[in-house]
């Protein structure tokens, strides 16, 4: 028996639920509810559960969607004619989004989700995409060549977690990124004390 194609309104509802859920859980973490998602998406709770039978399934879809979007953005930046700014802009974007992303992942694991399952592929794909941006930036002379993806990943994770947990204001976050970016810049400028 052939299955019917998903109706356009059902696909629209699903997309809207995911978009709202990312915002709601990114802001509220584990304390956020599917009822709030339904209300803000303009659908009934039954519609949410028809698409996502449990909170865990909804959050897994949100995590997957979030990382898919980041990976697509990184892939588009990999084609940039100016690889240095592409790398640094993407690094900054990940840091800016860190608090919401971490809240969503925390809500997912609190709901019983497994970050080593389907949702865990996104961070691995993202790391790979950052590696491509890094290599292109290094080839263009915009990033030091004596560092690898492991070091960049450690910096990215460290500053992202710091920004999320300390709740740095925009000015302090920008200054932290400036310091990191100075350290990633080629040449000896990173070793010289500032006057």
Residue 195 reports pLDDT greater than 70: no
Residue 76 makes CB contacts below 8 A (sequence gap 6+) with none
Is 42 contained in some domain?
Answer: no
Residue 48 lies in a domain: no
> Percentage of residues in the chain with pLDDT exceeding 90?
71
Q: 16-20, 41-45, 154-158, 160-164: lowest mean pLDDT where?
A: 160-164
Output the CA torsion sign for 94, 114, 150, 169.
positive
Task: Provide the whole-model pTM.
Answer: 0.83
Rounded Cα distance, 92 and 70, in Å? 12
Q: How far apart are CA 153 and CA 160, in angstroms?
A: 10
Query: Is position 85 within any domain?
Result: yes
**Confidence grade of residue 114 (pLDDT, cut at 50, 70, 90):** confident
Summarize the confidence of residues 37-42 as an average pLDDT.
95
In a domain, 139, yes or no: yes
> Mean pLDDT: which of 11-20, 118-127, 135-144, 171-180 is highest?
135-144
Number of domains in the chain: 1
The CATH code of the domain that includes 76 is 1.10.357.10
Rounded average pLDDT over 47-67: 94
In whole numbers, what is the pLDDT of the chain averaged over residues?
Answer: 89
Residue among 81, 78, 84, 80 at smallest CA distance from 138 = 84
Region 141-170 average pLDDT: 91
Domain membership of residue 34 (yes or no) is: no
Residue 70 counted as domain residue: yes
Q: Does some domain include residue 47?
A: no
pLDDT at 188: 57
Range of the domain at 162: 60-188
As a whole number, mean pLDDT of residues 71-89 equals 95
């Amino acid at each position: 028996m052939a299955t019917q194609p998903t109706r356009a309104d059902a696909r629209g509802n699903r997309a809207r639920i995911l978009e709202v859920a990312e915002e709601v859980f990114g802001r509220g973490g584990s304390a956020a509810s599917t009822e709030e998602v339904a209300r803000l998406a303009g659908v009934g709770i039954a519609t949410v559960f028809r698409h996502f039978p449990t909170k865990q399934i909804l959050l897994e879809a949100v995590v997957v969607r979030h990382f898919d979007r980041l990976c697509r953005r990184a892939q588009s930046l990999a084609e940039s004619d100016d690889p240095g700014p592409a790398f640094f802009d993407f690094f900054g974007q990940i840091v800016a989004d860190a608090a919401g992303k971490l809240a969503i992942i925390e809500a997912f694991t609190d709901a019983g989700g497994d970050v080593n399952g389907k949702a865990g592929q996104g961070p691995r794909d993202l790391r790979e995409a950052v590696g491509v941006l890094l290599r292109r930036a290094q080839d263009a002379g915009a990033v030091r060549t004596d560092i690898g993806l492991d070091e960049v990943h450690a910096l990215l994770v460290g500053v992202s977690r710091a920004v999320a947990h300390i709740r740095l204001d925009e000015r302090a976050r920008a200054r932290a990124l400036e310091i990191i970016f100075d350290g990633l810049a080629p040449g000896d400028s990173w070793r010289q004390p500032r006057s």
